[in-house]
Amino acid sequence: MKRFITITVLLMSFIVAGQNNYEKGMEKAFELWGENKSTEAANLFERIATAEPDNWLPPYWAAQINITSSFGEKDIDKLTAQLNKAQDLLNDATAISKDNPEIMVMQALLHTAWVAYDGATYGMKLSGTVMQIYAKAQQIAPDNPRVVLNKAEWDMGGAKFFGQDTKPFCKDVERSLELFANFKPESEFHPKWGEGRAKQILEDCKK
């Protein structure tokens, strides 16, 4: 009995130590990202992903850094490298957590980065895919603020491209803000971004 208790205590110690290492690593990665050290942050998230093969969050965040830094990138070689890396990471995250609306939003943003780079080449090719992703994410999580916001922003982009009025989608942005106000992430490392972007878009809606 004493031996069983000793083994149990040791196992619990290893689990706690592992959790502490994970939390410290994630906190450090977010800290680096906050200091605009995006490459270092992405690399750390990737290392954490290797150590946490059953956790979708580290590859998700590493992918997000590569995707967000791709918007506005003019060098096709750099853009391709970043988005290919992001796609590999999202594939890993999806393998761990299937039909996850947060990962779906990130996948849609990856395609949007290609469209933003060259709308003439990638718009027709990827628009249908992006709309399908948002439709599925909305079906799974209709009250997820990032799903509502990013679908609205995508719809606005499409309306602008075709010279149509973007105002009808402002109500969706407004709804996303209401959802952000009540959204509770599962942990401190789960996605909670987007509220600031929603406020910025809503301000543009009022002009």
Q: DSSP assignment of 90-140, as one string?
A: HHHHHHHSTT-HHHHHHHHHHHHHHHHH-HHHHHHHHHHHHHHHHHHHHHH
Class of the CATH-defined domain 1-99: mainly alpha
| pLDDT given at position 19 | 62
Closest CA relative to residue 78, chosen from 88, 61, 66:
66
CB 67 within 8 A of CB 110: yes
Predicted TM-score (pTM) above 0.85 = yes
* Each residue's pLDDT expressed in tens, for the chain with a length of 207 residues: 445 444 444 344 444 444 689 999 999 999 999 999 999 999 999 999 999 999 999 999 999 999 999 999 999 999 999 999 999 999 999 999 999 999 999 999 999 999 999 999 999 999 999 999 999 999 999 999 999 999 999 999 999 988 999 999 999 999 999 999 999 999 999 999 999 999 999 999 988
